[in-house]
C-alpha cells in the first residue's frame, strides 16, 4: 500500500471575516452577522517542493523553481522516497 500525504490545515478561517471598510447594504451586513455564529473552518496550506529539494509553504515568486505542489485540503498518494523527504522536512505527522 502506498503512503499518502495530506498537507497541514489550520482552523482559523472564520466565515464572517470580510472587509468591513467596503460599504455594504444592510441586508448583506445582516447575512454576514449570521455567519459569525459558525465556528472556524479548516483551511489547507499548500506545500511546495522546490527544485533544490527543499520544502516551503510560502509560494515562491518564481514558480519555475517549484518541482511539486501539494495543495492543501487534498490527499496525495506518494512514493516511499517522497515520504522520506517529507518526513525529513518535518511533515511526517501528515503521512499515513
Dist. CA 5–CA 91, nearest whole Å: 9
Per-residue pLDDT of the chain (96 residues; tens, 9 = 90+): 899 999 999 877 666 665 555 667 777 777 777 777 777 778 899 999 999 999 999 999 999 999 999 999 999 999 999 999 999 999 999 999
Domain count across the chain: 1
pTM of the model: 0.75
User: What's the CA gap between 15 and 39, in Å, rounded?
Assistant: 8
Domain encompassing residue 51:
4-94
- Phi first, then psi: what are they for 66, rounded to 5°? -90, 125
Amino acid at each position: 500500500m502506498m503512503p499518502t500525504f495530506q498537507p497541514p490545515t489550520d482552523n482559523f478561517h472564520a466565515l464572517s471575516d470580510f472587509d468591513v471598510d467596503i460599504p455594504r447594504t444592510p441586508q448583506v451586513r445582516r447575512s454576514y452577522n449570521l455567519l459569525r455564529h459558525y465556528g472556524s473552518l479548516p483551511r489547507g496550506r499548500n506545500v511546495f517542493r522546490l527544485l533544490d529539494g527543499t520544502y516551503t509553504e510560502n509560494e515562491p515568486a518564481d514558480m519555475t523553481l517549484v518541482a511539486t505542489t501539494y495543495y492543501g485540503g487534498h490527499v496525495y498518494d506518494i512514493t516511499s522516497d517522497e515520504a522520506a523527504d517529507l518526513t525529513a522536512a518535518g511533515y511526517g505527522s501528515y503521512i499515513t
